[in-house]
């Protein structure tokens, strides 16, 4: 399995096919966290809420199979491998449980109030949370008697030394997530830490379905995200609609799967699946992280 490293919030360059006009171009996009200025506070408040934090343990799931579930519209309970552990991120958790699926872990790294809204019923499962989630969520789950286990998610609050010092000295030893634009690609590193032999990725559409359906629960992109930056790109004769962070996640998942084909499987009709098999040069034409200070220099387009 793989280990991940890197920083969140990086700028990206993208090329998409837009039809019929205007012609395709490259853009630099900066992905920003809306609560960046509160992340240090969140990390310290979460630590204060838990007297003895229970951390996600190294190699706690050796030789097991994980069904890692995002909330995309391709998520199907019938696709889950019988006997696998099930981690459900964000709104996938209550949706799967309403379908009668036995979920082992509710997985959350989001720092916005959205996660508290999505988990307002506090499903009775174990929760794996990043130490930088909204502490209101932590307090709510604790008030409902839910078990929380912790890991860290590098988010670049303050200086790197300040953040690392907090994780190393304020908490028991634990895993720290690195790169990845959304919860699913970031969580594959956590799955590797736990020792899973294989990770089956479900519901990681990284794109919107017909009618711009964003999630398995039927939410549209507008209902889920307000007014997201919408993007279109063509692979073969199919047009995909997505937003920047989801497109970056699709590229990340395609690369991870190609490099770790024995350990990662992408399930469903998803954008990441459509990108699998493309060489790095082509994936860079779809979207890539820019080096500090780099500016896209040409308007070449990528067509699958």
More confident residue, 145 or 303: 145
Residue 262 clears pLDDT 50, i.e. is over it: yes
Residue found by looking up tokens 């992340």 in the block: 39
Please tell me the predicted confidence (pLDDT) of residue 229. Answer: 86
Spatial CB neighbours of 166, under 8 Å, sequence gap ≥ 6: 40, 43, 44, 47
pLDDT of amino acid 150: 98
Q: Where is pLDDT greater, at 47 or 3?
A: 47
Say what the pLDDT of residue 178 is. 86
pLDDT digits (tens, 9 = 90+) for 194-207: 999 999 999 999 99
Question: Residue 176: beta bridge partners?
Answer: 152
Is the per-residue pLDDT at 153 higher than 80?
Answer: yes
| Measured CA distances, 104 to 70, 126, 132, 135, 162 (Å) | 14, 6, 22, 22, 33
Residue 72 above 80 pLDDT? Answer: yes
From 140-144, 145-149, 263-267, 293-297, the region with the lowest mean pLDDT: 293-297
Q: How far apart are CA 87 and CA 48, in angstroms?
A: 26
The residue assigned the tokens 């999630």 is: 215
SS3 content of the chain, % helix, strand, coil (to 5): 30, 20, 50
Residue 24 pLDDT class (50, 70, 90 cuts) = low
DSSP code of 48?
H
Radius of gyration of the chain (CA): 19
Can you give the three-state secondary structure of 15-42, one letter per residue? Answer: ECCCCCCCCCCEEEEECCCCCHHHHHHH
Does 244 score more than 80 pLDDT?
A: yes
Q: What is the pLDDT of residues 25-39, one digit of tens each?
A: 666 777 777 788 899
Could you give phi then psi for residue 37, rounded to 5 degrees?
A: -70, -5
What average pLDDT does the chain have? 88
């Amino acid at each position: 399995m793989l280990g991940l490293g890197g920083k969140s919030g990086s700028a990206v360059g993208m090329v998409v096919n837009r039809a019929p006009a205007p012609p395709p171009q490259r853009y630099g996009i900066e992905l920003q966290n809306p609560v960046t200025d509160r992340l240090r506070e969140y990390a310290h408040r979460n630590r204060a809420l838990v007297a003895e934090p229970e951390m996600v343990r190294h190699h706690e799931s050796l030789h097991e199979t994980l069904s890692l579930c995002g909330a995309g519209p391709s998520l199907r309970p019938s696709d889950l491998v019988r006997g696998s552990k099930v981690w459900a991120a964000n709104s996938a958790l209550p949706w799967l449980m309403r379908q009668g699926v036995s979920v082992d872990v509710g997985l959350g790294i989001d720092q916005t109030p959205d996660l508290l809204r999505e988990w307002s019923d506090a499903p009775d499962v174990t929760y794996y949370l990043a130490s930088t989630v909204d502490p209101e969520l932590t307090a709510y789950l604790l008030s409902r008697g839910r078990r929380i286990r912790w890991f860290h998610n590098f988010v670049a609050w303050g200086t790197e030394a300040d953040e690392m010092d907090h994780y190393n000295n304020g908490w028991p030893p634990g895993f720290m997530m690195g790169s990845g634009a959304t919860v699913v690609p970031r969580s594959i590193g956590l799955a590797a830490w736990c020792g899973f032999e294989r990770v089956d990725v479900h519901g990681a559409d990284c794109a919107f379905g017909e009618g711009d359906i964003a999630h398995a629960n039927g939410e549209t992109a507008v209902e889920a995200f307000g007014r997201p930056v919408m993007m279109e790109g063509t692979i073969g004769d199919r047009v995909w609609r997505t937003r920047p962070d989801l497109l970056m996640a699709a590229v990340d998942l395609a690369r991870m799967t190609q490099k770790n084909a024995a350990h990662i499987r992408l399930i469903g009709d998803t954008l990441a699946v459509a990108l699998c098999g493309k060489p790095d040069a082509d994936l860079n034409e779809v979207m890539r992280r820019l080096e500090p200070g780099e500016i896209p220099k040409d308007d070449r387009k990528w067509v699958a």
